[in-house]
Amino acid sequence: MMFEPKIRNRQTDMLMQAVLALETEEDAYRFFEDLCTIPEIRSIAQRLEVAYLLRKKETYQKIADETGASSATISRVKRSLSYGADGYDRVLDKIRIPEQEKKA
């Protein structure tokens, strides 16, 4: 059975094609800085890190402390991991996770 996105239309097709056209990290930064506000980018990045930490079986409290995410955001990401379209899992399986910065 083929996946059928709930949000698919001409505009979202164009967006997905644009994302797929990005070839370098610099291209991605340039595109997302033009496309989104800084808070939107940070929010999306935070959700991705929350998904990563949930997959590592970290507690909500530890995730909140490390990412600054609210319990509502953590719950929403958890629901997506459990009942969503497997997008987080597919991406997290493919990317290199940057090492945590050393805290002095």
**Average pLDDT rounded to a whole number, residues 1-12:** 91
Give tens-digit pLDDT for 26-57: 999 999 999 999 999 999 999 999 999 999 99
Per the prediction, the chain carries an average pLDDT of 93
For the chain, domains (ranges, CATH) are: 10-92 (1.10.1270.10)
Residue, of 47 and 4, whose pLDDT is higher? 47
Has this prediction a pTM greater than 0.85? yes
- Cα distances from 62 to residues 48, 52, 69, 98, in angstroms, run 15, 13, 10, 18
Query: What integer pLDDT is reported at residue 100 of this predicted model?
Result: 59
